[in-house]
Structure 1
Amino acid sequence: MRNAVFSSALDTNGPTPLYLQVGHHISGLIGKDSRFMERLPSEAELCLMYGVSRITIRQALSYLAERDVVVRQHGRGTFVGALHRPGRQKTIHSFFEILAGKGLSPEMTLLDYQMRRPPEEVASALSVNDETLFIRRGYRSDEGPLGVTEVFYPGRLAPLVTPELAASLTSTAILRDIFKFQIAHADISIGLSYASPDVAQWLDVSEKSALMRIKRVTTCLGEGVCEYSRLLVTEGTADFRIGADGEMLSEGVL
């Protein structure tokens, strides 16, 4: 279909329903593409962009609306939900601290520690062209797995973060208590993503299951961007909201 600029992102022969593919792709564009900021394109425009039927677009938007990613207003259009608009906060908290604050006794496990070339988005955020230190941690309680955090540090900080340190302290604690960095601000965005094989195994879900993704890019005084992190949890595990001042607030961990 002419002007179907996003059709290549869809696998029409794959096992994942088309509307889910469209919904996840739209979620990834929110806050990044100028056409998906405060308000989404119309259903007719989305049909052209993805080369799919209006029924598929409506199913995709309904899927996102059920998860508060978007808000559909009759006669006005589809808008980005408040929870998923980019926010900025001046303090940061670890997932471990949020869980502990809700009365849980989480256990943290170091799942991966390696130097690796970062994805393009991470490299751009950290302003690096070389390898970064990648750390993945898993969190669980007596009830089962709670979430996974993935953190990228610029290479200049890698020698300071030993495997022992990464296994015993959260990245927030490392920045705040070990490096003694002062946080200038952290940019927060919330969206949906698919579970990678490693993350799916820890969370005990099927590959490509829908996950809630909370991304944080932390800027430290005198250091620039010092951390790129993302928290991955199953839908319904955690509820968050971004306050009027941009601060991410925990509503609860279920």
Structure 2
Amino acid sequence: MPDALFSAYLEPNDPTPLYLQVGHHISGLIGKDERFLDRLPSEAELCRLYGVSRITVRQALSYLAKRDVIVRQHGRGTFVGALHRPGRQKTIHSFFEILADKGLRPRMTLLDYRMQAPPEDMAKGFGEQGDVLFIRRGYRSAEGPLGVTEVFYPGHLAKMVTPELAGSKTSATILKDIFKFQISHADISIGLTQAADDVSEWLDIARGSVLLKIKRVTSCKGQGICEYSRLLVTEGAADFQIKADGEMLSEGMLHE
């Protein structure tokens, strides 16, 4: 018999395919529900929980596996992918660089630049009171939009990040080349999120579309946390992967 907490999430009449609804729900449970911390329930158990067929469950798991959200091991089961666990890298890479490495000739557009109150966890991370600087950039190639980055800087750095600088340089370049900060480490996590209306409009996708979200918290030597950022990309827009330690690689780099 289906579990009401799981089956209630599904909308059979929704235009979103049932397997995608299941996949998105599973992604949201990883790391939060005790049944989805390391190893996922069996296919049979997922069928029972959601009240769907095994084919639907397998499609949902394949969808998540292709995005490295989960790892399927023959004879052992399905496990949470390394990307959903805390990942730490020693340096940072810009989305612009990854796209350029793929020969996409990206163009960067400053979409938003403003001071705003930070979420509570971000304020604690920055260790200071007051507003933070929020920057949103859009990336596109000749074929169309590729993704959006959203970056938050602590208030004491805001005056140094002018609109002109934000619109012409990537965050990685600003921290490493303009400010001359030394990166201590960056913690990343990956998941799925619903696109905000203004992001959907710029990416030219349906409202509420699901995006891949890569969150990065960058710490600099002598500065503490100096940046919170998130990369939002549509499925298939940019073909890159992230290693278990958090390093972002373009498909071309993977085959070197």
TM over 0.5: yes
**2:96 is the alignment partner of 1:100:** no
Question: Could you tell me how far apart the structure 1 residues matched to 2:217 and 2:245 are?
Answer: 17
Aligned mate of 2:51, from 53, 56, 59: 53
| Equivalent pair of 1:126/1:228 in contact (CA under 8 Å) | no
* Range that drifts further, 225-234 or 19-28: 19-28
Query: 2:134 touches 2:152 (CA, 8 Å); kept in 1?
Result: yes
Structure 1: how far apart are the matches of 2:43 and 2:219? 37
Q: Secondary structure at the match of 1:238?
A: coil
Q: Secondary structure at 1:160's aligned position in 2? A: coil
Q: CA deviation at 1:120?
A: 4.8
Q: Distance in 2 between matches of 1:226 and 1:31?
A: 26
Counterpart contact for 2:19–2:59, Cα < 8 Å: yes
Please give the alpha-carbon distance, in whole angstroms, between the structure 1 residues aligned to 2:180 and 2:231: 23
Superposed displacement of residue 241, structure 1: 3.1
Per mean C-alpha deviation after superposition, the further-off stretch among 19-28 and 171-180 is 19-28
- TM-score after normalising by structure 2: 0.80
In the TM superposition, what are the counterparts of 1:73-88 in structure 2 within 5 Å?
73=73, 76-88=76-88
Match of 1:175 in 2: 175
Name 1:234's counterpart in structure 2: 234
Tell me the residue number matched to 1:70.
Answer: 70
- Residue aligning to 1:188: 188
Q: For structure 1, which segment, 28-37 or 83-92, has the greater mean C-alpha deviation from structure 2 after superposition?
A: 28-37
Could you tell me how far apart the structure 1 residues matched to 2:66 and 2:251 are?
18
Aligned partners of 1:121, 1:17: CA distance in 2, in Å? Answer: 34
Contact 1:212 1:235 in 2 (8 A): yes
**Which position in structure 2 is the counterpart of 1:166?**
166
State how many pairs are aligned.
250
Gap runs ≥5 in structure 1: none
CA separation in 2, counterparts of 1:28 and 1:120?
A: 21
Q: In 2 relative to 1, CA 187–34 (structure 1 residues): closer, same or farther, beyond 3 Å?
A: farther
The separation in 1 between residues aligned to 2:22 and 2:126, in whole angstroms, is: 29
Deviation at 1:83, TM superposition (A): 4.7
Aligned residue in 2 for 1:157: 157
Q: CA-atom RMSD, angstroms?
A: 3.2
